[in-house]
Each structure stands twice: as structure tokens, then as C-alpha cells.
Amino acid sequence: MKKSYYKNKRVLITGADGFMGSHLTERLLCEGAKVSVYLRGNSVSGTIQYSLKNIKHLEGDLEDILTGNISALDSKDLVIKNKPEIVFHLAADAYVPNSFDHPIEVMETNVLGTLNMLHAVKECKAIKRIVCTSSSEIYGMTLGGSIDEEHPLYPSSPYAASKVAADRYAYSYCNTYHLPIAIIRPFNTYGPRHTYDVIPKFIELALSGKTLCVHGTGKQSRDFTYVDDMIEAFMLMGSHKEALGRAINFGTGKAITINYIASKIKEISASPSPIVHTKERKAQVPKLLCNYSLAKKLFGWSPKIFIDEGLRRNIKWAKEFLAF
């Protein structure tokens, strides 16, 4: 990727105030892009209200702030009017347990939201690329070993099923309508500003001296990727010609158990928190391990920050910016 690729390009980011979206917004602004964001907003007494929870410090640098429900049809019109050249679609209901009790709402956000963005892009004459954000959860109950892009999709939760549908809709629209689509499949990403999932929860509990509750045996493992490495992956997917028409995995190639995460966070934070085991979580996947050989072959991408260093950085940030 050329350093100047994004300079002066009109970029729209959905879910820009979320965890990865906020980091991507910062990076694109640093690259000189003209960045607009799409946020969830509500109309109260005729006034649009929204929260810039993670990008308030960037508000003055943004070209435009679009607001609304991304699963509603009028989201399409807002995007068309914005006239983006590149769209990064990250907006999603991404907390897996939420899909257990609210599967329809999760489907609407993740599937209908993606369809609205795809249809908007069909009518954006200047569009060069839309990067659709998938998930490693689409692989579900894996066959064992590392997962490449040809692995069958066995979604084990309503969330995972919604991401499979969105992923495959994006692929089908690329084939049917010849849209400039790239599908990024991030494995578990962590780092500053993340608020749900095991790592940020354990860090908060450890720094508060509270019990770390591990679901099941704790031997279940994930491929944890630090946010800086994943943002580099997004930048490549939005710019590199080899990303077009492809779905590509990004991860570290290291399977880390939840037991290791709990003990390492406790160690790094010098926390007195006890570690206890509770019942198995619904739809638990035993192992998700990324094979990122395609990303390495196409882009020369490889992770630079592994779990111990990533946890140290994450804990340092939490001590500085979160109240305990």
C-alpha cells in the first residue's frame, strides 16, 4: 500500500465510533483521507442525537456525520448522498451473547445493514471499494488445526449465522453486480477502547481486584490479534488491488487458551483477583486459529504484536484511561 493512497479520498466508515472503527478513523485521518462517519442516532423532538463515544476528539476533523439505523432503508440514501469513494463497513451488533436473546435484532443490524450498504454502493458512481467486515465466528465448529479461507462455514450462534449471511451476500453482490467488494475476516481483535469480550472484561476485573470467571474448562482457545495489526489489515483491504473479490483471514496464527489469558492478565496487572470456573457458555466454539497465509502471500502482511506485548499495552492503557 502506498503511503499516499488515501490522501484526499472520500472515505465513509460505518460503526466509526466502535472499537475498531475508531482506530480506523484515526488512521485514515492521519493518512489525509476526507473521512465521513455513519453512526447510530435517534431523533428527539426533531433534533438528531448521537454519541461520539470513541471519536469525540476527532469531531472537528470529520467531513460529515451521518446518523440513523443502518438496517433501515433510508440509510442507503444517506450514503448515496455522501458520495464516498471508499466505504469501510464495520457497523454490527458484534457481542455474541446478545444474539442468544435477540437473534432477530442482531440479524437486522448485521444482514440488512450490510445489504443496505451494498445497495448504496451500487448507486455511488465514484465508488472504488467497499470493505465488508466479516468475522472468524463464521467458521464455528472447526475441523481442527488452523483455518484458511476454504474452511467450511459452521456457524454455532445466531450472531455467527448473521455474519455468514452478510459475508456471502457481499460475495454474491461482487459476482452478480460486479461491485468492488473486499471481505475482511478478522480473528478476535483486542486493544484500547474494546469494552466487551474476554480480554477487556478480564482486564477491568483484574484491575478492580474482582474475580475472573472462566467459562467451562478454559481450554477453549482463540487467535487474539492486537488492534494495530488489524487496522493495517483494513488499510490493505481498502487499497490493494488483490483484495478485490476476495474474503481474507487476518490473525496471528497462535491459539491462546482462555486460561492463559486470565493468568497472564493477573500476572501483568499484579492483581489479587481469584480465577474461578463457571458453566460452559452457550454455543461455545472450542478453537479458532487463523491461517493468514493468503494475506501474507498477497500483501506481505503478518502480525507484529503478539499476546504478551498486546496485553501489556492494553493494561497500560486501561490504567491510564479507565477509572478504578
Q: Is residue 70 part of a domain?
A: yes
Q: Is residue 301 part of a domain?
A: yes
CA–CA separation, 215 and 203 (whole Å): 16
- Mean pLDDT in residue range 65-72: 95
The grid cell for 98 is 446478545
Task: Name the percent of the chain lying above pLDDT 70.
Answer: 96
The grid cell for 266 is 493477573
CATH number of domain containing 16: 3.40.50.720
Q: Is residue 1 part of a domain?
A: no
Question: Model-level pTM?
Answer: 0.95
Give the structural domain span for 172.
10-321
CA–CA separation, 85 and 8 (whole Å): 10
Q: Is residue 139 part of a domain?
A: yes
Phi, psi angles (nearest 5°) of residue 313: -65, -40
Please determine, for residue 4, whether its predicted confidence score (pLDDT) is greater than 90.
no
pLDDT band at 2 (very low <50, low <70, confident <90, very high): low
Tens digits of per-residue pLDDT, 290-303?
999 999 999 999 99
Tens digits of per-residue pLDDT, 221-235?
999 999 999 999 999
- Per DSSP, 32 falls in state T
Range 67-99 burial, b when 16+ CB lie within 10 A, else e: bbbbbeeebbebbbebebbbbbbbbbbbebebb
pLDDT of residue 48: 62
- Mean pLDDT in residue range 203-219: 97
CA-CA distances (angstroms) from residue 193 to 34, 50, 277, 281? 23, 18, 26, 24
Tens digits of per-residue pLDDT, 149-178?
999 999 999 999 999 999 999 999 999 999
Long-range contacts at 262-269 (CB < 8 A, ≥ 24 apart): 262/202, 262/212, 262/214, 262/218, 264/307, 264/308, 264/311, 265/199, 265/202, 265/203, 265/206, 265/212, 265/311, 265/315, 266/206, 266/212, 268/308, 268/311, 268/312, 268/315, 269/203, 269/206, 269/207, 269/315
Side-chain-facing half-sphere of 210: CA atoms under 13 Å: 9
Q: Is residue 42 part of a domain?
A: yes
Q: Is residue 4 part of a domain?
A: no
Pairing verdict, β 10-14 and 34-39: parallel
Mean pLDDT of the chain: 94
Please count the other Cβ atoms lying within 10 Å of the Cβ belonging to residue 34: 19
Beta bridge partners of 49: 42
Closest CA to 249 of 291, 221, 301: 291
Tens digits of per-residue pLDDT, 238-295?
999 999 999 999 999 999 999 999 999 999 999 999 999 999 988 888 999 999 999 9
Burial bucket for residue 149 (CB in 10 Å: 0-12, 13-18, 19+): middle
CA-CA distances (angstroms) from residue 76 to 48, 69, 73, 162, 295? 18, 10, 6, 20, 31
Q: Is residue 2 part of a domain?
A: no
The CA-based dihedral angle spanning residues 246, 250, 254, 256, taken in that order and rounded to the nearest 10 degrees = -120
- Per DSSP, 111 falls in state I
Phi, psi angles (nearest 5°) of residue 153: -100, 115
Tens digits of per-residue pLDDT, 187-201?
999 999 999 899 999
Report how far Cα 7 is from the mean position of its chain's Cα atoms. Answer: 23
pLDDT band at 95 (very low <50, low <70, confident <90, very high): confident
- Mean pLDDT in residue range 127-138: 97
How many domains does the structure of the chain reveal?
Answer: 1
Q: What spatial distance separates the first Cα and last Cα of the chain, rounded to whole Å? A: 40
At position 242, the amino acid (one-letter code) is: E
